[in-house]
Amino acid sequence: MKKTFFLPVLCIACCLFLFAFRQSPIIEMSYHKSPLQSNGPAGGKSGAPGEQNCTACHSGPAQDGTTENTLLILDANNQPALAYVPGNSYTVNLVMASDPAKKGFQATVLSSTNVMAGSFTSDATTQIVNATISGAQRNYAEHKASSNTSATQAWTWSWTAPSTNVGNLTFYVASNKANNNGNPQGDAIYLSQHIINAPSSGASLAENATISAISMFYSAESESIIMTFEALQQGVVSLNIVDLNGKIITLKQNEQVIIGQNKHVFKLTSRNLKSGTYILQALINGNQYTKTIIVN
């Protein structure tokens, strides 16, 4: 009798269990690509040869960052360095022109053989990480959790140049214009390259054969910035003025370059900038030229 009674009871219990399971709410689990990098990514995301960039964790294609990423290399006298002196230390300032509410970056500097050129040291707005790429170690400067918003106008770090002349060097920069929506969707990634010349290159403002006779200066008499140059090709020119903290004021944006003599004048007002030392930065037909000026 016990065996005959046990089977119906077991069947009823199983049916009750299945009914309860079917009535339970279905819990769906969701995932997103990689942890958010508010404190900076791992090394190897600068877009340099052999590396990934920010799109490894953020959606969307990488874009040209020539006008978005402004990199200034300043010597011990806060003057723009167009060529490095072996073993000397320089201050590197990086500014995103759009200054988004949420942002980040990673940068490195390599020789023409894609070897790390010199070394980086962090400051209050940056941190330094390392990665081994193609069997060799590279340094990377990048944002950290306390410097990934528009409250940080410029990221700054120190660069010690190689101890010997290793030719022209290239800074590779990947920046992230984030939309602050808490996930990796909808961000804009900008890649750029910035060259500092070898000590023997004789670097000057007119280093491109298609652009010559460049003059950029402040006229106290007319309270204007005046830029003149000769061009052998048509194109566009942009002109920024940057203070020594890295804050950018755009004076000209994608204006036409004509073949022959070009002249661009920007009238300054008290709303533009106060008296002090500034860096003029011109982008002419894709080539960058800088000069320090004093505004009275």
171: Cβ contacts below 8 Å, ≥ 6 apart? 71, 73, 92, 107, 108, 109, 193, 194, 195, 196
Q: Could you tell me what percent of the chain has a pLDDT over 90? A: 35
Q: What is the pLDDT of residues 174-211, one digit of tens each?
A: 999 887 666 566 688 899 998 898 885 444 444 456 88
Mean per-residue pLDDT, 6-20: 43
What would the pLDDT profile of 234-258 be if each residue is shown by its tens digit?
888 888 888 776 677 777 778 899 9
Mean pLDDT across the stretch 8-13? 44
Q: Is residue 142 within 8 Å of residue 103, measured between CB atoms?
A: no
Give the per-residue pLDDT at 132: 94
* Confidence (pLDDT) at 61: 75
Residue 238 is given by DSSP the state E
Please state, in angstroms and rounded to a whole number, the distance separating the CA atoms of residues 157 and 128: 9
pLDDT band at 29 (very low <50, low <70, confident <90, very high): very low
Tell me, what's the pLDDT at 272? 64
| Gap between the Cα atoms of 249 and 293, Å rounded | 14
Number of residues that make up the chain: 296
pLDDT of residue 207: 47
Q: What is the pLDDT of residues 114-166, one digit of tens each?
A: 999 999 999 999 999 999 998 999 999 999 999 999 888 889 999 999 999 99
Position 199 scores a pLDDT of 85
More confident residue, 10 or 79: 79
Could you give all domains of the chain from N- to C-terminal order, each with its CATH number?
54-201 (2.60.40.4060), 211-295 (2.60.40.3080)
pLDDT at residue number 1: 44
pTM of the model: 0.65
**What integer is the mean pLDDT of 11-30?**
39
Q: Which residues contact 116 (CB under 8 A, 6 or more apart)?
A: 108, 109, 110, 136, 137, 138, 139
Q: How confident is the model at residue 75 (pLDDT cuts 50, 70, 90)?
A: confident
The Cα 42–Cα 36 span in angstroms is 12
Residue range 93-109, pLDDT digits in tens: 998 888 888 899 999 99
62 against 117, higher pLDDT: 117
Please give the order of strands across the beta sheet that includes 224-231. 211-219, 224-231, 260-267
What mean pLDDT value characterizes the chain?
79
pLDDT-based confidence at 38, cuts 50/70/90?
A: low
286 versus 75: the higher-pLDDT residue is 75
Cα(279)–Cα(222) distance, rounded to whole angstroms? Answer: 19
Structural tokens at position 176: 């992230």
